[in-house]
Amino acid sequence: MDAIPQFEHTPLEGIPELARDARRTFLSHKTRPIEYRLVQLRKLYWGLKDNEGILAEALKKDIGKPPYETQLMEVGMCENDILYACKNLDKWTKDQKPEDVPLIHMSFRPRIRKDPLGCVLIIGTYNFPIQLCIMPLIGAIAAGCTAVLKPSESAPHTAACMEHIIKTYLDQDAYKIVQGAVAEASSLLDQKWDKIFYTGGDKVGRIVAKRAAETLTPYVLELGGINPAIVTRHADPHLAARRLLWAKLVNAGQVCVSQNYVLVDREILPLFVAELERALKEFHPDGVRKSKDYGRIIDARQFQRLKHMLDETRGRILLGGTMDEEDLFFEPTVVQVEDVKDSLIVEESFGPLIPLLPIDGLDEAIRLANEIHDTPLGVYAFGSKAETTRILNETRSGGISINDAFAHVSVPTLPFGGVGASGQGAYHGRESFEAFTHRRAVASTPSWVEKLIAVRYPPYAGKLKQVELLSGKPNFDRDGRVRLGVLGWVKHVLLSRNLLFTVLGE
Ligand code: NAD
């Protein structure tokens, strides 16, 4: 690609046929052979590698993303995920032996086969427009599915580049792209899919889920989150400030997993604010406005939304607060708020707003975090080991990073996804393959077992006793207490780690 191609909407009337075509290809079994999948993945790798420069240019135009962030968190992340999938695909696609099969059922030779789900739809959003489309696509290809991608229209330059890559490097019968906005996305949701993978806000997420329910289509929803960070009085304010500030500087805070608000113990609040200021000066010595390493807000609509949130706050601006709509520049802004109902807390900012809510101890922090949003995408816990363990045990979230901001997302072998209102389903690494795979139960009964399985045939008279003999017996009573026989006790004593170590005098 020599230049960024023109972004053009896909003609609406062509969408049904495009979807049918992708389905026909799946039904032709073309995408099932492992070698085919590997070739497509390798080609996708080179499609990204060969076009790194132009992709960086496109993202700079779309969202002012610094090329370093594009390489690290968009293109490089996808390339690494492809290499990982290529290395492990043989292992992932192998039939699995189910665990703990009772002796009587072994004759059915049970196994779990990894079948591709079929023809899938991937709808992406604008903040990481490459990663959020290509990472699910890697999973779909690896699983043997065909796929149609619908990138976000809000990042048109990047979407046009992705179209070029997909059309030039991949099998056009199997992998397709639809460009457009609501009308095109709605038309896609009218078609038949075997899975829908949606990333974006919860409002559209509900639409996708409802539409999917009409045809009983399974879906993955990767939604947003009102993510808390908790900084206790025993946290290291220097580290907490640097790490949390970084999370709000990346992509100008347009990161679904960045903290939406920070609950800071009142005792260390002044120190924490001083450290935020110090870190900001260190990261952007000439100020963020002039820095090449700070992005822009995607468009005027999102800019206005952020501005409105800031206008509505009853908090006190401690750092930042400047903005320029023409340039879509929004300064990282630290605001001390006193109320959980503040506009900066109740809404997801998805931008460089950093509200700090002072708290008096960990009990209050955990209570407030659960009250504000009890199933966010991420939780970030800064404090002593005992404190962060309590936060881990007493909150819920898609993922959690302890003494860091969204570090868990960068680990390529950890599942990434939400829980409850922040979404369902997960991907990255092997999880992407699993997201598009059906674990098909297979039994294959040899003829020689006919006598053994005769117990299932009528006439049934007298057969229940035989079945009961083969059934398991509980080792617990009606109060739920474990009741062990003499042999059971001996086994329990020998296997009990604590007892054994007590005897050995550990
Ligand atoms: P957006 O406007 O780009 O919309 C997302 C996608 O939905 C686009 O492709 C768009 O065309 C499509 N769409 C819009 N209206 C639709 C409709 N009526 N029917 C079908 N499709 C429709 O982005 P957004 O929704 O503003 O995204 C921001 C949100 O995404 C934030 O809440 C953020 O937290 C979340 N997000 C989540 C993740 C994650 O991985 N969990 C990642 C990035 C962003």
124 alpha carbon – ligand 1 mean position (Å) = 7
**Using a 6 Å cutoff on CB, does residue 183 contact ligand 1?**
no
- Rounded alpha-carbon distances, angstroms, from residue 393 to 232, 458, 476, 493: 16, 52, 28, 30
Which ligand 1 atom is at minimum distance from the Cα of 189? 20
Contact predicate 237/176, CB 8 Å:
no
**Using a 6 Å cutoff on CB, does residue 302 contact ligand 1?**
no
Catalytic annotation, pick one of 69, 74, 222, 387: 222
Taking CA atoms only, the protein residue closest to ligand 1 atom 40 is: 222
**Using a 6 Å cutoff on CB, does residue 186 contact ligand 1?**
yes
Neighbour order of strands in the sheet with 219-222: 175-177, 146-150, 119-123, 195-199, 219-222, 423-424
Residue 427 three-state SS? strand
**CATH entry, 228-410, from 3.40.309.10, 3.40.50.720, 3.40.50.1970, 3.90.1170.50:** 3.40.309.10
Contact predicate 152/122, CB 8 Å:
no
Q: What is the C-alpha separation between 451 and 275, in angstroms, rounded? A: 76
* Residue ranges, CATH 3.40.605.10, the chain: 12-223+429-439
Cα dihedral sign, 85-86-88-94: positive
DSSP assigned state of 398: S
Catalytic annotation, pick one of 133, 145, 161, 256: 256
264 alpha carbon – ligand 1 mean position (Å) = 30
**Using a 6 Å cutoff on CB, does residue 200 contact ligand 1?**
yes
Neighbouring-strand partners of residue 228: 261
Q: Residue 179: phi, psi to the nearest 5?
A: -105, 140
Active site residue 161: no
Of 364, 361, 369, 329, give the one whose Cα is nearest residue 345. 369
Alpha helical stretches, state H, 313-417? 343-346, 362-372, 385-394, 407-410
123 alpha carbon – ligand 1 mean position (Å) = 8
- If phi > 0 it is left, if psi is from -120 to 50 it is alpha, else beta; for residue 25 that is alpha
Q: What is the C-alpha separation between 367 and 391, in angstroms, rounded? A: 10
Which ligand 1 atom is at minimum distance from the Cα of 153? 11
Of 429, 351, 505, 385, give the one whose Cα is nearest residue 78. 429
253 alpha carbon – ligand 1 mean position (Å) = 16
pLDDT per residue, tens digit, the chain (506 aa), is 899 999 999 999 999 999 999 999 999 999 999 999 999 999 999 999 999 999 999 999 999 999 999 999 999 999 999 999 999 999 999 999 999 998 889 999 999 999 999 999 999 999 999 999 999 999 999 999 999 999 999 999 999 999 999 999 999 999 999 999 999 999 999 999 999 999 999 999 999 999 999 999 999 999 988 999 999 999 999 999 999 999 999 999 999 999 999 999 999 999 999 999 999 999 999 999 999 999 999 999 999 999 999 999 999 999 999 999 999 999 999 999 999 999 999 999 999 999 999 999 999 999 999 999 999 999 999 999 999 999 999 999 999 999 999 999 999 999 999 999 999 999 999 999 999 999 999 999 999 999 989 999 999 999 998 888 888 889 999 999 998 777 777 776 776 655 555 445 44
Q: What is the C-alpha separation between 476 and 479, in angstroms, rounded? A: 8
Which ligand 1 atom is at minimum distance from the Cα of 154? 3
* Residue ranges, CATH 3.40.309.10, the chain: 228-410
User: For every residue of 77-125, which 3-state class applies, written as one string?
Assistant: HHHHHHHHHHHHHHHHHCCECCCCCCHHHHHHCCEEEEEECCEEEEECC
Contact predicate 325/310, CB 8 Å:
no
Half-sphere exposure of residue 400, counting CA atoms within 13 Å on the CB side? 18
What fold is seen in the domain 12-223+429-439?
A: Aldehyde Dehydrogenase; Chain A, domain 1 (3.40.605)
